[in-house]
Structure 1
Amino acid sequence: MFGGGGGLDPRKMEQMMKQMGIDMDELDAEEVIIRTPDHDLVFDAPDVTRMDARGQETYQVIGSPEERERTGGDAEAADTSGGAFDEDDVELVATRTGASEDDARDALERHGGDLAAAVADLE
């Protein structure tokens, strides 16, 4: 996790981070996709590290992405081609938050279909 430069002992560095309330975990990720309005960045077999600093999670992705064009111009087309979420998810988020279905769909798209993140975003 902490190799090479700076001459710091990796165990000492981990110990210092724990004292500061920072936990780090390596995730066994098979793929990471970052969606932009125009294209997807797809990382196959990336090195992913999750860092939790007093409740604030940060993810670091290391690898070389393949850039893929997005098909379809609207959120529904991106949703159905990617299969990230379906209309039941949209209805669930809208009902839970009181948001419109369009807002719920937008939140789900922003969060890659993650229901909890979409609900938190709209609450």
Structure 2
Amino acid sequence: MFRFSPSDLKKQLKRLGLKNVDVEAIEAEEIIVRQRDGKELVLVAPQAVVVKMPGGAIMMQVMAQRVEEREAQKPEEALSFSEEDVRLVAEQTGVSLEEARRALEEAEGDIAAAIMLIEERRRAAEGS
């Protein structure tokens, strides 16, 4: 496959009258383009060069071995609680760490809501 040379690209841009540009090669495994229609284009094994133009404009030139199309993936949300929170819920309710962690996940990290959820489940189990 053709290789980008940042220095050659910079020389070509200079010949075109674009001076004071910063050209940088990017090492990437893949480049993902999210489209407005909910699809993603995945450029596999890309070669990429970022050109920073005077005035703040940025241009990227990319070549890839292949392009795959897929449904856009939603980024996974980071857990909003710590292991200390898990231990606290487990101690307060007398459940296992695993059960406390599940309750915190369901309560989206809200300690009080997780404790209440466990207590409600306990009452429901006792009432059965």
TM-score bracket for this pair, using the shorter chain length: 0.3 to 0.5
Please give the TM-score of this superposition, normalised by the length of structure 2: 0.43
Q: Which structure has the bigger radius of gyration?
A: 2
